[in-house]
Amino acid sequence: PTTPQIWLSLNKGKNMTRRVQSFLWKSIHKGHKIGHFWKYTGLADTHMLCAQCRVPTESLDHILFEGSASGQDTIWEFAKQIWTTIGLSWPRPHMGLILGTNLVSVYTPDRKKELTGHSRLLRIILSESAYLIWLVGCKWRVGDEHDPHKFPKKETIEDRWLFILNKRLHYDRILTDRKSYGEKALNAKLVERTWALLFKTELSSGDYPLDWITNLGVLVSIGRARRPPGRNRQPSRMTQLSGHHPSRHLVPNPPRVSHCLLP
């Protein structure tokens, strides 16, 4: 796709928060204060390079996919674990995929039908992961003054990622209320198709009522469940999400992630 198509896609649908949209908009227009931005400011010696990896010119690509100070390896691995629990292969993240997130779609094997719930969930996971990597990197470099003793712990990053995903789920459920939001309300069926993918076990066992999306009295969350002691304890929710659950199954003909960014 062309740059204008990618730029226009930022306002397509209701998959991204305003902050994520702003982050991607600046990414497309090279508006972040990193790397070459500092070249002629008199601060190039300290601000232009990656403070941890010592890469001469820090770039967004380096921060999102290579750097060791942004938690990117932990976040992408955790995002992969979440996505693959629904039985699909994980697309390797790269800059084109992130900038064109809203153009990525998931289709049935014959490519005749888009699976809108799968597509929306993937767009949310990709965009929120990239933005979290940016935030973690900024906090370490600016807030913690790139102190090597203040690297965020893996579990802390994972907890923060789960908090963000749960917040998106919570807001999606709230925004289905047509009485409050009218024409701006989210389509409840689309929201259900998006998040039901992560709750197959609960839905099939009847743990959640049929109106679990719109009924805010039902507590729904994604995350680690504290495991009780004993040999007969049930696998934790985190174990299920990481794909090591004995009852996990793959669909016979799993849909395919479209790696080309369709206009």
Q: State how far the alpha carbon of 92 is from the alpha carbons of 74, 80, 259, in Å.
A: 14, 9, 9
| Residue 201, domain member (yes or no) | yes
263 belongs to a structural domain:
no
d(CA 74, CA 70) in angstroms, rounded, equals 9
With contact defined as beta carbons under 8 Å apart, do 198 and 86 qualify? yes
228: in domain:
no
For residue 229, is it within any domain?
A: no
In a domain, 262, yes or no: no
Q: Is residue 189 part of a domain?
A: yes
Which tens digit of pLDDT belongs to each residue from 134-145? 999 888 878 876
In-domain check, residue 75:
yes
Segments forming the whole domain that contains residue 94: 3-223+234-257
Number of domains in the chain: 1
Give the tens place of pLDDT for each residue, 169-228: 999 999 999 999 999 999 999 999 999 998 887 787 777 878 888 887 777 878 654 333
Any domain includes 158: yes
Strand partners, 257: 106
0.95 exceeded by pTM:
no
- Asked if 208 contacts 202 with a C-beta cutoff of 8 angstroms, the reply is yes
